[in-house]
Amino acid sequence: MLKISQLVKRYGNGAPVLKGLDLEVPGESVVSVIGASGAGKSTLLRCINRLVEPSSGSIELNGLMLTDLKGAGLRAARRRIGMIFQSFNLVDRLTVMENVQSGRLGYLPTWRAVLRRYPKEDIRRAFELMERVGIAHYANKRADELSGGERQRVGVVRALMQEPEILLADEPTASLDPKTSEQIMDLLRALSREFSLPVLINIHNVAEAKQYTDRIVGMRYGRIIFDAEPAALDTAAMDEIYAGVPAEERGEMDNVTPLRANNA
């Protein structure tokens, strides 16, 4: 269970990007966060694992107050939060296996990490997970030799290697073509069920959000203005979330091709 209350983030002296958010994500549900660019989606996600330092408010994960942590305590907490990125954020020049094992870095003794002497159970787990998402035969390939969809699968496996208690996904499909992005969304939903993981996804594509997630949170100007089942997201709600944003940028898949790569 992730519990966020009164979260505020402000950069410098400007207007706050997040203006007192409250959000709860119970176990095993897939929640998507939608909103126009600049609504604060990405900042919200990065506040959870403290890649971005919140200005005030509290974030609690399964009873652990994340906002109080520092140093080693913070690193130990980050191990429990898996994150998936829009541009995959793999280390291109390392093999797929090394990228996958880098999800275990928070647990490994330093000498094992440096010498690439991974424990047997980690290697087995890596092969099982890679087999699950269909990339096991790439273990020895360099990450930059893979296609976009395959690279995102490596990113997913890296996050799962952490044995996380929650998965954060920041625009995980924005750099992928339509078919691949549906596969990745499908995979995230399935993994959420298999591992009983809550998954919080920032997404541009409203059609995908409706199809693959259990709950939709709509943000505008740093506030949550919509929070309900996908079915409840009607045109009126959409207009409120995306007021002033042209239709194709909302990514309504029915008849418009979204400009994914461009408007990311």
The reply on whether position 171 binds another protein by CB under 8 A is no
Touching another protein, residues 214-253 (CB under 8 A): none
The reply on whether position 78 binds another protein by CB under 8 A is yes
CB of 120 to another protein, least distance (A): 4
Amino acid type, 159: A
The reply on whether position 93 binds another protein by CB under 8 A is yes
Alpha helices in the chain (DSSP H): 41-48, 71-79, 96-101, 110-115, 120-133, 148-161, 178-194, 206-212, 235-241, 247-250, 260-263
CB of 121 to another protein, least distance (A): 7
Q: Give, in order, the Cα–Cα distances in Å from 187 to each of 104, 190, 206, 248.
A: 21, 5, 17, 25
The nearer residue to another protein, 72 or 236, going by C-beta atoms, is: 72
Q: What are the tokens at 5?
A: 């209350």
Contact 146, 134 (CB under 8 A): no
The nearer residue to another protein, 64 or 136, going by C-beta atoms, is: 136
Of residues 16, 35, 54, 103, which one binds another protein by CB under 8 A?
103
The nearer residue to another protein, 105 or 245, going by C-beta atoms, is: 105
CA–CA–CA angle 221, 225, 226 (5° rounding): 135
What gap in Å lies between CA 196 and CA 31, rounded to an integer? 13
The reply on whether position 95 binds another protein by CB under 8 A is yes
Of residues 8, 64, 139, 225, which one binds another protein by CB under 8 A?
139
Contact 200, 167 (CB under 8 A): yes
The reply on whether position 261 binds another protein by CB under 8 A is no
CB of 113 to another protein, least distance (A): 5
What gap in Å lies between CA 32 and CA 73, rounded to an integer? 28
The reply on whether position 42 binds another protein by CB under 8 A is no
The reply on whether position 65 binds another protein by CB under 8 A is no
Count helices and strands in the chain by DSSP H and E runs: 11, 10
Count of residues interacting with another protein (CB under 8 A)? 50
202: region left, alpha or beta (phi > 0 left; psi from -120 to 50 alpha)? beta
Of residues 23, 47, 98, 224, which one binds another protein by CB under 8 A?
98
| Interaction site with another protein (CB under 8 A) | 49, 51, 74-83, 85, 87, 89-95, 97-98, 102-106, 108, 110, 113-114, 116, 118, 120-121, 123-124, 126-128, 131, 136-137, 139-140, 155, 158-159, 162
